[in-house]
């Protein structure tokens, strides 16, 4: 696919960006978990928490620049909303990961984590598109709406 083709098809560009950034974040996540478990002897669940923190920055940076280009003026509110989305996804991720480890055993931590990350990605995409990086007033959070009203009252 050429860049011109992707630019003329916004949904494909968005999905391609989400996939590329998501793969980078997932690879970062998997790498951090692997290093912490294999090299430092961390428990897989604890390593997963640390990996989430690292992967969050990879994910937000990529999505705010490529997947859902964000105006610098709204970057901080998008970061907060995306953190809410990512943290919710992480809670789902951690719960499913714990259940998988319980059922299959820690020996299979990498395939379990890989499957969990793929399943959670769909929900993350939808919440990111519809809320975290949404443009316009239709998807603004109540806090954002309050700020808009407050700023309008000052004018």
Per-residue pLDDT in tens (0 to 9) along the chain, 155 residues: 565 665 677 889 899 999 999 999 989 999 999 999 999 999 998 998 999 999 999 999 999 999 999 988 899 999 999 999 999 998 998 899 999 999 999 999 999 988 998 888 888 999 999 999 987 544 444 444 444 444 445 54
Residue 93 burial class via C-beta count within 10 angstroms: exposed 0-12, middle 13-18, buried 19 and up = buried
Looking at residue 140, its pLDDT comes to 41
Looking at residue 51, its pLDDT comes to 95
Rounded Cα–Cα distance for residues 55 and 86 (Å): 10
Residue 38 burial class via C-beta count within 10 angstroms: exposed 0-12, middle 13-18, buried 19 and up = exposed
Which letter does DSSP use for residue 138 in this model?
G
Looking at residue 144, its pLDDT comes to 44
Q: What angle do CA 114, 115, 118 make, to 5 degrees?
A: 90
Rounded Cα–Cα distance for residues 48 and 149 (Å): 40
**Residue 42: half-sphere exposure toward Cβ, Cα within 13 Å:** 17
pTM recorded for the entire structure: 0.70
SS3 content of the chain, % helix, strand, coil (to 5): 85, 0, 15
């Amino acid at each position: 696919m050429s860049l011109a083709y992707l630019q003329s098809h916004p949904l494909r560009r968005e999905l391609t960006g989400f996939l590329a950034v998501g793969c980078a974040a997932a690879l970062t996540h998997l790498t951090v978990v692997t290093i912490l478990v294999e090299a430092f002897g961390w428990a897989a669940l604890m390593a997963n928490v640390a990996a989430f923190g690292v992967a969050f920055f990879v994910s937000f940076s990529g999505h705010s620049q490529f997947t859902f280009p964000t105006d610098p003026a709204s970057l901080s509110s998008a970061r907060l909303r995306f953190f809410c989305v990512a943290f919710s996804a992480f809670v789902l991720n951690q719960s499913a990961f714990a259940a998988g480890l319980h059922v299959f055993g820690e020996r299979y931590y990498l395939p379990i984590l890989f499957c969990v990350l793929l399943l959670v990605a769909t929900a993350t995409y939808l919440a990111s598109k519809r809320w975290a990086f949404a443009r316009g007033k239709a998807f603004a959070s109540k806090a954002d709406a309050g700020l808009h009203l407050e700023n309008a009252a000052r004018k």
